[in-house]
Chains A and B, each alone.
Chain A
Amino acid sequence: MSATANPAAVEDVQPAIESRRGLLRRELLRNPQAIIGLTILGIFVLIALLSPVLLSQDPKTKVGSVFEAPSSAHVLGTDGGGADMLALLVGGAPVSLIVGFAAAAVSALIGGAVGLLSGFFGGKTDVALMRLTDYVIVIPDVPLMIVVAALFGRSLTNIILIIGAIYWTTTARLIRAQVKSVRERVYVKRARALGAGNTRLIGRHILPQVAPLLIANTVLLVAYAIFAETFITFLGLGDPSLVSWGRLIENAFTDDAILNNAWWAIVTPGLCVTIVILGCTMTGQAMEDALNPRLRVGHLSVKRFRLRPLQGRLDSE
């Protein structure tokens, strides 16, 4: 992420009247990408929620021999410990998703707060917070996660915290830009002229306008968090008691799945991760698009895989 990619030049010319939430809903339902993304997410969240019901025992229980090929008994085969692959995937869903959502929430919280304060108060606060953001941005994420895991131990909370502490920067930038533009709007100025205090302004007028964008951004952050979690667990730094999809990939690697041609132990967990990330990315991008249709600057957003061209939307063709 660039240390200077500055959406300060963003000019949002949304009509002030229309509620952003309504706009979001309409745009989303029109957008095939969003529909697919939401469907994917919906399915996996459902599986995660239902997993205690779907699983009759601990998914790690040995129910067959090691690396059995997919058969009628075990639809997706067994892993290196003889446990049913499908059960493991269902069991891993809540873990992966919770880590993803929790870390994204932490990021969103930090980023949202920073962006809000920065954009609203401007001046020295803005400069200071943006400087801080600039410094955090250049820290390479995975090495930092590795270092923290090595120094502070591998626990779930550590993972969630460290992911959250790294990825808030783009959120902060985005929210800041949004807050700045909202702040200039007529009704906000009017409200202040009427004597509304800061808290009231933020709570009543700015936050509701900013929230949908924050949510859209958080969805994208979930993709990131799940991604990051697979990195950490693959390197053996994850919480050893948790079985997430990332952990399943790592298990396959250390159990010599390749040697045994047990492709089902490798392909399936990675596929789950990829699909969920795809779902988040598609939904998040669609949401952001709906809320910020006309970004005027060629803005390279590396982590989010978007090039906003100088004219027009990418998906409108």
Chain B
Amino acid sequence: MTGFDYVGKRVLFAALTVFVAITLNFVLFRTLSGDALSALRCRQCTPQFKAYQRHELGLDKSKWVQYRMYLNDLAHGNLGKSLRSEQSVTTELWPSIKNTMPMVALGTFFSIVLGIIVGVITAWRRGTFVDRAGLYSGLGFYSMPPQWLGLLMVLFVAGALGLPTSGIKDPTLGILGDASTWDVLVDRLRHMVLPALTLGLVLYGEYALIVRSSMLETLGEDYVLTARAKGLSNWAIVWRHGLRNALLPIVTLVALSLGYVIAGTITIEYVFSYPGVGLAVVEAIDQRDYPILQGAFLLLTLSVIVFNLVADLLYFRLDPRVQT
């Protein structure tokens, strides 16, 4: 099977999955939850007003027509309007997305860095107590519910390091005068550190394993002995032979981990009151703001599909023996 064929098939499959996800989204929210307008909460709304709203939202039409309208809306990038704020869903969610992405990126960065450190150390000291400790600590953190780890962070770490435990910014920064970009950056980072660290800790175990395996593979091989004999330093060996092999699996794993990252992000943001997509989802439930919930769910599902596609394509590079 040629590479081109493979790529083509994967992309096609991803596109199909996107379509299925969109349909599932529609079915879940419109059909099964009954009249979406039942979620439209307004006091003193007369029945006539509600009928008018119903007509405007197209809820008085058949499910098929609604489905077509939904697809049409999506094609135009319209995810609907929030029931509470009456802003478009995209306008409501965009700031949240902007907050979540750097935090998740930082968390992933932590997990990779920790993974590399632990992976290298355990490979270097393979078979010893250090090795077992490293592996089990990774497994241990992976087994912790992220929200619990977050709470532990707040309890024991935040105070010790003087880091804030909620929100994304200092409320008074930039009120009376403009704050410098540096100040703003530092402020954001300070608020991001704990949630990102929590995310990083629950994820690093996997990366540690990959790095360790990759190192073990190459450490035992002959050309390492040759390299040593040639006088290459330990670091060079580690990088050139060990870590470089691990790079692709790591990136692939990052893509594949999205599902778990999403789950972790939702609970971590809730613990830290971090105003990202996760918190927006939790609040949308509380407020019965179904369009937001529906929009966020769709976006998250699409992200997973896209990331999986990326992973698939990387897989192909990773192991040419993979066949569909």
Co-complex (A, B): yes
Which among B14, B17, B149, B285 is the interface contact of A150 at CB below 8 angstroms? B285
CA distance A298 to B147 in the complex (A): 31
Complex contact A147–B263 (CB within 8 A) = no
Quick check: is B257 within 8 A (CB to CB) of the other chain? Answer: yes
Question: What residues of chain A lie closer than 8 Å to B271, measured between beta carbons?
Answer: 253
Q: List 6 A-B contacts (CB under 8 A).
A: A234-B147, A253-B151, A278-B139, A297-B322, A298-B318, A309-B217
Contact call A266/B270, Cβ cutoff below 8 A: no
Residues of B within 8 A of A190 (CB): none
Minimal beta-carbon separation of B323 from chain A (angstroms)? 7
Known: A147-B293, A230-B147, A309-B217. A9 touches B323 (CB 8 A): yes
Q: How far is the CA of A110 from the CA of B50 in the complex (A)?
A: 43
> Chain A interface (Cβ within 8 Å of chain B)?
1-6, 8-9, 134-135, 137-144, 146-147, 149-152, 223, 227, 230-231, 234-237, 246, 249, 252-253, 258, 261, 263, 266-267, 269-270, 273-274, 277-278, 281-282, 297-298, 300, 302-303, 305-307, 309-311, 314, 317
The 3 closest A-B pairs by CB, nearest first: A270-B148, A142-B263, A277-B143
Bound-state Cα–Cα, A278 to B285, Å: 31
* Distance (whole angstroms) from the CB of B1 to the closest CB of chain A: 13
When distances are taken between beta carbons in the complex, the residues of chain B under 8 Å from A246 are 145
B243 to chain A, nearest CB (A): 15
Smallest beta-carbon distance B191→chain A, Å: 17
**Do the beta carbons of A231 and B315 come within 8 Å of each other?**
no
- Beta-carbon contact of A140 and B304 below 8 Å: yes
Residues of B near any A CB (own CB < 8 A): 10, 13-14, 17, 20-21, 24, 28-29, 32-33, 126-127, 131, 139-140, 142-145, 147-149, 151-152, 154-156, 205-206, 209-210, 213, 216-217, 249, 252-253, 256-260, 262-263, 266-267, 270-271, 281-282, 285-286, 288, 293, 296-297, 300-301, 304-305, 308-309, 311-312, 315, 318-319, 321-324
Chain B: CB-nearest residue to A230: B145
CB distance from A26 to the nearest CB of B (A): 23
Which of A9, A147, A258 has the most chain B CB within a 10 Å cutoff?
A: A147
Q: How far is the CA of A142 from the CA of B297 in the complex (A)?
A: 10
In the complex, chain B residues whose CB is within 8 Å of the CB of A142:
262-263, 266-267
Contact for B148 among A4, A249, A282, CB less than 8 A: A249
B262 touches A230 (CB 8 A): no
- B321 with A138: CB separation less than 8 A: no
> Would A231 and B145 count as touching, CB distance under 8 A?
yes
CB <8 Å contact, B285 and A146: yes
From A8, A143, A270, A281, contact of B145 by CB (8 A): A270
Given contacts A8-B323, A314-B213, A317-B127, contact A231 B263 (CB under 8 A): yes
A144 contacts which of B142, B148, B297 (Cβ < 8 Å)?
B297
Partner of B155 from the list A5, A266, A282, A314 (CB cut-off 8 Å) is A266
**Complexed CA–CA distance, A245 and B322 (Å):** 42
CB of B151 within 8 A of CB of A146, answer: no
Once the chains bind, are A135 and B20 in contact (CB under 8 Å)? yes
Q: In the bound complex, how far is the Cα of B214 from the Cα of A314, in angstroms?
A: 12
* Residues of chain B lying within 8 A (CB to CB) of residue A5: 256, 315
Q: Is chain A's interface secondary structure helix, strand, loop, or mixed overall?
A: helix
Q: A3-B308, A149-B285, A273-B145 are in contact. List 11 more A-B contacts (CB 8 A).
A: A4-B308, A138-B301, A140-B262, A231-B263, A231-B267, A235-B267, A253-B271, A270-B145, A305-B206, A307-B206, A311-B217
A231 to B261, CA, bound (A): 13
Which chain B residue lies CB-closest to A148? B28
Q: A4-B322, A140-B259, A300-B249 are in contact. Are A274 and B152 (CB under 8 A)?
A: no
Whether the Cβ atoms of B259 and A1 lie closer than 8 Å is yes
A303 and B285 in contact (CB under 8 A), knowing A4-B315, A8-B323, A314-B213?
no
Bound complex: CA of A140 vs CA of B307, how far in Å? 12
Chain A nearest Cβ from B272, distance in angstroms: 11
Write the chain A residue with the least CB distance to B10: A4
Cross-chain contact A140 with B263 (CB below 8 angstroms): yes
CB neighbours (8 Å) of B154 from chain A are: 258
Q: Are B322 and A252 in contact (CB under 8 A)?
A: no
Report yes or no: B209 in contact with A302, Cβ–Cβ below 8 A.
no
| A266, B253: Cα distance in complex, Å | 31
User: B20 contacts which chain A residues (CB < 8 A)?
Assistant: 135
The winner among B148, B256, B271, B296 for most chain A CB atoms within 10 A is B148
Q: Which residues of chain B come closer than 8 Å to A149, judged between CB atoms?
A: 285
Q: Which residues of B contact A236 (CB under 8 A)?
A: 286
With A139-B21, A147-B297: A2-B263 Cβ-Cβ less than 8 Å:
no
Contact A298 B249 (CB under 8 A): yes
Q: A150-B285, A253-B151 are in contact. Are A305 and B142 (CB under 8 A)?
A: yes
With A2-B312, A2-B315, A317-B127 as given contacts, are A309 and B151 in contact (CB-CB < 8 Å)?
Answer: no
Asked whether A134 lies within 8 Å of B312 as measured between CB atoms, the reply is no
Bound Cα distance A266, B156 (Å)? 11
Contact A4 to B312, CB < 8 A, known contacts A151-B29, A302-B256: yes
The CA-CA distance from A263 to B201 in the complex, in Å, is 20
A6 to B324, CA, bound (A): 8
A149→B288 CA distance, assembly (Å): 12
A135 touches which one: B17, B216, B293 (CB < 8 A)? B17
Contacts of B319 in A (CB 8 A): 297-298
Which residues on B sit within 8 Å (CB–CB) of A143? 262, 266, 281, 296-297, 300-301
Nearest A residue to B14, CB-CB: A3
**Is B148 a contact partner of A273 (Cβ separation < 8 A)?**
yes
